[in-house]
Amino acid sequence: MNNALGLDVGTSRLVLAAKDGDAFTYSRQLNAFVTIPYAKMTERALRNEGVPYSLDNGQILVHGNEAARFADLLQMETRRPMDRGVLNPSEPESGARLKEMLKSLLAGRTPGQRIFFTVPAAPLGEDQGVTYHAATTGQLLEELGFHATPINEGLAVVYGEMENTNYSGIGVSLGGGLVNVCLAYLSMPVFSFSTAKAGDYIDSSTAAVTGDLATRVRLAKEEDFHLSGVYSNKLHQVLAVYYDDVIKTLVNGLREAFTNTRNLPKLSRPIPLVLSGGTAMPRGFRDRFEKALMEVEFPVRLSEIRMAAAPLTTTAKGALIAAMADMEDAQTSAARA
Ligand SMILES: Nc1ncnc2c1ncn2[C@@H]1O[C@H](COP(=O)(O)OP(=O)(O)OP(=O)(O)O)[C@@H](O)[C@H]1O
Ligand SMILES: [Mg+2]
């Protein structure tokens, strides 16, 4: 077993990547929890079923994948430790919640392992906002016994998908809380940014129009929505409107970032752009994005616009690749010393 791990710390899900022989393996937990009143009987039932939970102030907190099932059963919304890509600094409990979930995701892993974890880029035009999140998450992982290093989420897409261009290209991760973008040249990040219109924005905006619960909208969206241009029901029609809004915001962000960045490397050949993340999943997304990008003057020549091989695990895989490379570097310098 390789001694390195990759972790995608997402607003919506936590994904852990490891390498088992030649194969990449992944485990996932929903980054959410529900609280239920404490009763000894309930606690015993949860323990017997192997459901991850913790106790807090006379309540039981059920976290991870099981949280969605409980929320649906009890007709309540799940709660989240993170919002728009980062831990909420005004909710001191959010760190403790995230730690519980990381603990169950990392159960069985040998402490001392090197782990690279994804952090979002600052929103376009700002350079603040992710420091608290990155430091806190790193500290939680260290407390659990791992050697933690942050890696930019968009850069992780490049590492996960662009070996064949020697890690040159544009990585895009369309998640729940944020869309993250990174331009890398020969594995080095040139610039990165995020925009706050992503999956959660689509859910809550659509819910506000149709009068549904956001969790219900999300289920419908994930189940059978695609961007075909023809919509058979009102919900799909509204979803498409907000999808277009997300795409437009991303395209404007890309154009602005590429137009305003002064240190753009002189690219000798066209570079790829790869789309990953849950929000890029519906059929027709790639085509819709390409069409929108072609409508603006984009200052860089692209060799292709393609979907990541496995959009839900791309960033965790990229983080793992970074961790393995870092381990090799450490071994090389130890051998030299
Ligand atoms: N099959 C699907 N079709 C449509 N949307 C999907 C699908 N699967 C997941 N999603 C949506 O993708 C989003 C989650 O994507 P992802 O897991 O990449 O985000 P994350 O990494 O947790 O969040 P972030 O990167 O913003 O912090 C959610 O809005 C979810 O509803
Ligand atoms: Mg993500």
How does pLDDT run across 202-222, given as a tens digit for each residue? 999 999 999 988 888 998 999
In terms of domains, do 291 and 169 share one? yes
Task: Say what the pTM is.
Answer: 0.94
Domain end, chosen from 78, 113, 147, is at 78
CB of 61 closer than 6 angstroms to any ligand 1 atom:
no
Residue 171 and residue 294 share a domain: yes
Residue with CA closest to ligand 1 atom 29: 199
Tell whether ligand 1 has an atom less than 6 A from the beta carbon of residue 311: no
Spatial distance between the Cα atoms of 141 and 145, rounded to a whole number of angstroms: 7
Residue 27, in any domain of the structure: no
Angle between helix axes 214-224 and 199-210 (nearest 10 degrees) is: 110
The CB of 198 under 6 Å from ligand 1? The reply is: yes
Residue located nearest, by CA, to atom 13 of ligand 1:
176
Structural domain span for residue 45 = 32-78
107-165 per-position pLDDT tens digit: 999 999 999 999 999 998 777 779 999 999 999 999 999 999 999 999 999 999 999 99
Output the domain CATH number for residue 298.
Answer: 3.30.420.40
Tell how far the Cα of 308 is from the centroid of ligand 1, in angstroms. Answer: 14
* Number of domains the chain is built from: 2
Tokens of 93: 């409990």
Nearest-atom index, ligand 1, CA of 311: 18
pLDDT tops 70 at residue 1 = no
pLDDT tens profile 27-52 = 999 999 999 999 999 999 999 988 88
Q: Report the separation in Å between the CA atom of 38 and the middle of ligand 2, taken as the mean of its atom positions.
A: 33
User: How does 115-134 read in b/e, with b if 16+ C-beta sit within 10 Å?
Assistant: bbbbbbbebbeeeebbeebb
Note whether 157 and 173 are within 8 A (CB): yes
Q: Are residues 47 and 170 in the same domain?
A: no
